[in-house]
Structure 1
Amino acid sequence: MKHSDTTRPTARERQFLGHPLGLSVLFLTEMWEMFSFFGMRALLVYYMTMRLDFGQEYASMVYGAYAAFVYFTPVFGGMAADRWLGKRRAVIIGASTMALGHFMMASEALFYPALVTIALGNGLFLPSLASQIKGLYREGDPRSKSAYNVYYVGVNLGAFLAPLVCGFLGEAYGWHWGFTAAGIGMLASLVIYLAGSRHLPQESPPTAKTQTSRMPLDQSARRRLVFLAGIAAIVVVFRGAYEQVGNTIALWAEVGVNRQVTAGWSIPMAWFQALDPLVVFAATPWLVARWTRLAKHGVDTPSLHKMAFGAAIVGLSYLLLAAVAAWSEAQGMRAHWPWLVGWFVLMTLGELYILPVGLGLFGRMAPEGFGATCIALWFFAGFFGNLLAGALGTLWSVLSHGDFFLVIGCVAGFAAALLFIVGVRVKRKEKRDNPDLTTMVSQ
């Protein structure tokens, strides 16, 4: 549902960080969903290798397959929300299903069914929630450009708390306690969404008539979908490197990092997973302010160039980590923990230039009636990306740690090159053939 053409918020409009109050509902709903998701993810590899006695290669493949399935189901969930369920019902059903799956993780016998249940619920929840952001803003509202960055902070607030709470409970009191905490977080997400739904855009339930009216796509809409599909394909390559965070990076924190701070205390392994969202909190306000300031002076970097820069930074972070790991192995010692902290800082700075920017690009370019589907397409890149990440993770036991991180750095660098090349070609071609597309990509 679109608002009127007025671009300025009314004086009486209740706001959250300068945005419609509905964004706070989506912000907090996603925060607690991410708490549950990342809480479980922070424990998953350790749980498989330490409790279930899975070998490293098999555990990496299971992790990659699960993470891939999590990003595969939104494709069908997004279509179901757009055509049959509606976004609100899809979020409610998805959140309830995910909560059930997290509580099932408390039973070792239900390990595989629990993973499937979480992934299925996520398929309905993920695209249906994020696609509601666009409807909060009037046509032309300048706040919509930074809305996805604010939303991304909510994502990372949950991701920051998850390793500290779920990771601590899992390591200190037992894995099942950590998984139970993740389930409670999912229930909190559902309660917040239900309580705040009055602040969200009202939608009419999809009907056969509206489905029929949505089917034909004009040439401009088709070009957008093809363009977004191409970008998603490149993001697959990037995610092959990025998704090592919860996989081989977690393993390196266990076997390759000296985590001792004092004589009697070492940093818990899962706590390092909190560094990524912590940097997001610190850097996002600065980046948004910087981009806004540059835009006022007529310097507005195209989205694809921002994404290419981000992928390049992530690649550089892995190359630096490769040097640290190689030196440590040559010295017969573990790398000191500040190196891993520094890696997370640099990697996350790169992440901020690609993941929230890409999400916003897909949200803005979605044709009318295909909002959840296009958001699902963005997350679908995570499906193949996590499959790639899982396959690359099997090299962990074959290569030295330094060589492994070198390979991952090259993967991220390749994605950066592809994004930059596409960005340059789009800018040249579309200015002549399709100026509307160029404008949207540049935002």
Structure 2
Amino acid sequence: MRRDSSTLLGHPKGLFLLFGTELWERFCFYGMRAILVLYLTSKTMDGGFGWTAKDALSLYATYTGLVYLTPLIGGWIADNFLGQRRCVMIGGVAMAAAQFVLALPNSVVGDSALHVFYAGLTLMIIGNGLFKANISTMVGDLYEEGDNRRDGAFTIFYMGINLGSLLAGIIAGTAVTIWGYKAGFATAGIGICIGLTLQMLFARRYLGNIGIEAAAKRDAAKNKSGKKEPLTKVERDRLKVIMVMGLFVIVFWAGFEQAGGLMNIYTQQYTDRIIGSFTVPTEWFQSLNPFFIITLAPVIASLWVKMGSKEPSSPIKFAAALFFLAIGFLFMVGAALEQGGDLTVKTSMLWLVGAYFFHTLGELCLSPIGLSMVTKLAPLRLCSLLMGVWFSFNALANYAAGIIGSHIGDAGALSIFGGIAIAATLSGLILIVFSGKLVDWMHGAEGQPTTAMKEAEATLAEAN
């Protein structure tokens, strides 16, 4: 099945189909994320469960952890059995069902309401597991090995993710304000249905055979024996890079994901959100990050291009991300200091705006770069699986984020915000120290000269 070979902005049109599909899937995911903790802690008369902040954040930690862990299973299923495209469709249907289950009328009460709620969360976790890793892998499959458009493609794709997030915070938050939490969940469900419709209408034309056949089967067909070959030394070294970099990803996202938990509650309870006679909805602050992504991503992408041969390696970009995360939490430290221990004091919204701005700079130096890196380093037969492994680091981070945030009553906001800033700074420094070795293990996958290459060049120069 041949796909349309025409391009848009220098990229295959299939990229923009995947962009649109992911946009609406992320609208679904972030629409739910923006209201989940608030829904759990809202009083029953307001349509919520009336949980304590600690209980809500503990559940949030478990939920987000599983959401990012299950892509490991979804990637394995795609690589070995169903292929990426079928997994994306099945996962999207499950996510739509999840939101509509959560949007069931308030006539469902008592234990039945809790059972329905858990059923919705379960469907969301399963659906995301099948969807998340596989659509990202298909972006990489649009480009041949060595195609220097790949990093730019993931930056465009990442803008789609965050456009969906931006719309989710505003639209779902407004739906909650006008009609209640059930309307917020229904809105998120409608979003993923739009994404599924795009796939059904245009996938055959713009993706062709991409994602249809299981990667393991394609890889085996390339070998004369028709069997899976053992990993080479280069492949093993590249796998080590993915695993080591994943440890620093955990540190970054454990801090960053306070946005959906602790920072969300801090915004609602301790931030002065009044502008004139208008009170800014808490959910709207969830759109600051995607707004900054959309406005800053082209700037960052063009910066990498302008740097040319001086463009930093992925480990250095990751270190920069950790430093930006630390700066963002220094703004939150400022907010906590403004309170001075008096929880009746409302802090300025500018602290939050500054925090989200620097967190976004960090995200742009880490998240799209990481996705692109995995598609460069992973062997074909393991690509979706390793993308799932990559998201499993996010799972650990999200679980840690929820646990950290749930201790606000014990440790206090100042200690948590300050502690994250210190941990991020130290992690960034460690990564810089080991960046040279990580580049060597990549064996030129990013075009960075390895130590062996430099020694060979020096020897040649001496000989001449």
Relative to the length of structure 1, the TM-score reads 0.91
Q: CA deviation at 1:208?
A: 6.6
Match of 1:250 in 2: 264
Is 1:266 the counterpart of 2:258? The answer is no
* Aligned 8 A contact 2:339 2:345 in 1: yes
Match of 2:377 among 351, 356, 365: 365
Distance of aligned partners of 1:134 and 1:437 in 2 relative to their CA distance in 1, 3 Å threshold: closer
How far apart, CA to CA, are the structure 1 residues paired with 2:70 and 2:247? Answer: 17
One-letter amino acid of the structure 2 residue matched with residue 228 of structure 1: I
Q: Could you tell me which residue of structure 1 aligns to residue 74 of structure 2? A: 77
1:2, distance to aligned residue in structure 2 (A): 13
Tell whether 2:119 aligns with 1:113. yes
2:241–2:442 CA contact under 8 A, matched in 1: no
Q: TM-score, normalising length from structure 2?
A: 0.87
The aligned runs of 1:139-154 (5 Å cut-off) are 139-154=145-160
| Equivalence for 2:331 | 320
Task: Return the alpha-carbon distance in structure 2 between the equivalents of residues 135 and 267 of structure 1.
Answer: 42
Who is 1:374 aligned against? Answer: 386
Number of residue pairs aligned between Structure 1 and Structure 2: 427
| Inter-partner Cα distance in structure 2 for 1:415 and 1:172 | 44
Amino acid of the residue matched to residue 225 of structure 1?
L
Distance 2:217 2:5 in 1: 35
Q: Secondary structure at the match of 2:259?
A: coil
User: Are positions 1:409 and 2:409 aligned together?
Assistant: no
Q: 1:213-269 CA distances to partner (integer Å, 9 max, x unpaired)?
A: 33522222122222212211221122111110100010010111000001x211000
Match of 2:183 in 1: 177
- Alignment-mate amino acid for residue 81 of structure 1: A
Number of the residue aligned with 1:280: 293
Summarize deviations over 1:372-391 as a string: whole Å, max 9, x none: 11211111111111111111
Q: 1:434 to 1:238 in 2, by over 3 A?
A: closer
Q: Counterpart of 1:141 in 2: which secondary structure?
A: coil
For 1:94, the aligned partner's letter is G
Instruction: Write the deviation string for residues 27-73 of structure 1: whole angstroms up to 9, x where unpaired.
Output: 00000000000000000010000011111111111001100000110
Distance change (3 Å), C-alpha of 1:174 and 1:146: same
Given that 1:244 and 1:389 are in contact with CA atoms closer than 8 Å, whether structure 2 keeps it comes out as: yes
Aligned partner letter, 2:194: A
Q: Which amino acid aligns with 2:40?
A: M
Query: Moved runs in structure 1, 4+ residues, more than 4 A?
Result: 207-212
Question: Which one of the candidate residues 184, 192, 195 is aligned to 1:186?
Answer: 192
After superposition, residues 91-102 of structure 1 pair within 5 angstroms as: 91-102=88-99
Mapped partners of 2:91, 2:136: distance in 1: 13
| Number of the residue aligned with 2:45 | none
Of 91-100 and 360-369, deviating more is 360-369
Question: Hey, what's the Cα distance between the residues in 2 that align with 1:136 and 1:440?
Answer: 23
Q: Deviations over 1:164-213 (max 9, x none)?
A: 00111113311000000001111111111121212115145338796673
CA offsets, 1:284-342, max 9 Å, x none?
Answer: 111111110111xx312111101110111111110221122212235762112122122
Alignment of 1:291-330 (within 5 A): 291-295=304-308, 298-330=309-341
Unaligned runs of 5+ in 1: 4-11
Which amino acid in structure 1 is aligned with residue 150 of structure 2? S
Q: What does residue 395 of structure 1 align with? A: 407
Counterpart selection for 2:346 from 328, 334, 355: 334
Identify if the C-alpha distance between structure 1 residues 334 and 293 changes in structure 2 by more than 3 Å, giving closer, same or farther.
Answer: same
Deviation at 1:125, TM superposition (A): 0.6
2:2 matched to 1:22? no
CA shift, 1:420, in A, is 2.1
Q: Is the 8 A contact 1:240 1:411 kept in 2?
A: no
Residue number in structure 1 paired with 2:248:
234
Q: 1:258 to 1:194 in 2, by over 3 A?
A: same
Match in the other structure for 1:6: none
Paired with 1:208 and 1:281, the residues of 2 have a C-alpha distance of 38
Change (3 A) 1:205 1:308: same
User: CA–CA distance in 2 between the matches of 1:220 and 1:89?
Assistant: 31
Following the alignment from structure 1 to structure 2, what is the Cα–Cα distance between the partners of residues 310 and 400?
25
SS at match of 2:275: strand
Offset of 1:356 from its aligned partner? Answer: 1.2
Contact 2:74 2:129 in 1 (8 A): yes
Report if the CA contact (8 A) 2:272-2:347 is conserved: yes
Question: For residue 55 of structure 1, what is the aligned residue in structure 2?
Answer: 52
Moved more, 323-332 or 120-129: 323-332
Aligned AA (2:272): N
Distance 1:441 1:166, change over 3 A: farther
- Flag the structure with larger Rg: 2
CA distance change for structure 1 residues 287 and 417 in 2, over 3 Å: closer, same or farther? Answer: same
Query: Aligned match of 2:209 in 202, 225, 230?
Result: 202
- Contact (CA 8 Å) 2:137, 2:384: kept in 1 or not? yes
Query: Which residue of the partner structure matches residue 7 of structure 1?
Result: none
State the Cα distance separating 1:151 from its structure 2 match: 0.5
For 2:238, the equivalent position in structure 1 comes to 224
The alpha-carbon deviation at position 438 of structure 1 amounts to 6.7
Looking at structure 1, the residues matched to 134 and 63 of structure 2 have their Cα atoms a distance apart, in angstroms, of: 20
Residue 383 in structure 1 maps to residue 395 in structure 2: yes
The one-letter amino acid of 1:142's match is N
Alpha-carbon distance change, 346 to 234 in structure 1, aligned in 2, over 3 angstroms: closer
Q: In 2, distance between residues paired with 1:309 and 1:371?
A: 26
Partner of 1:202: helix, strand, or coil?
coil
What is the one-letter code of the residue matched to 2:294?
F
For 2:63 and 2:166, the matched residues in 1 are separated by: 21
Cα distance, 1:104 vs. partner? 1.1
From 126, 143, 146, the counterpart of 2:132 = 126
In 1, Cα distance between the equivalents of 2:442 and 2:162?
36
* Counterpart Cα distance in 2 of 1:183 and 1:421: 45
Instruction: Please list every run of 5 or more consecutive structure 2 residues that lacks an aligned counterpart in the other structure.
Output: 43-47, 105-112, 221-225, 451-464
1:437 to partner: Cα distance: 5.1
**Distance in 2 (alpha carbons) for counterparts of 1:78 and 1:213:** 20
Q: Identify the residue that residue 8 of structure 1 maps to in structure 2.
A: none
Q: 2:331, 2:354 within 8 Å by CA — same for their partners in 1?
A: no
Which amino acid in structure 2 is aligned with residue 22 of structure 1?
Answer: G
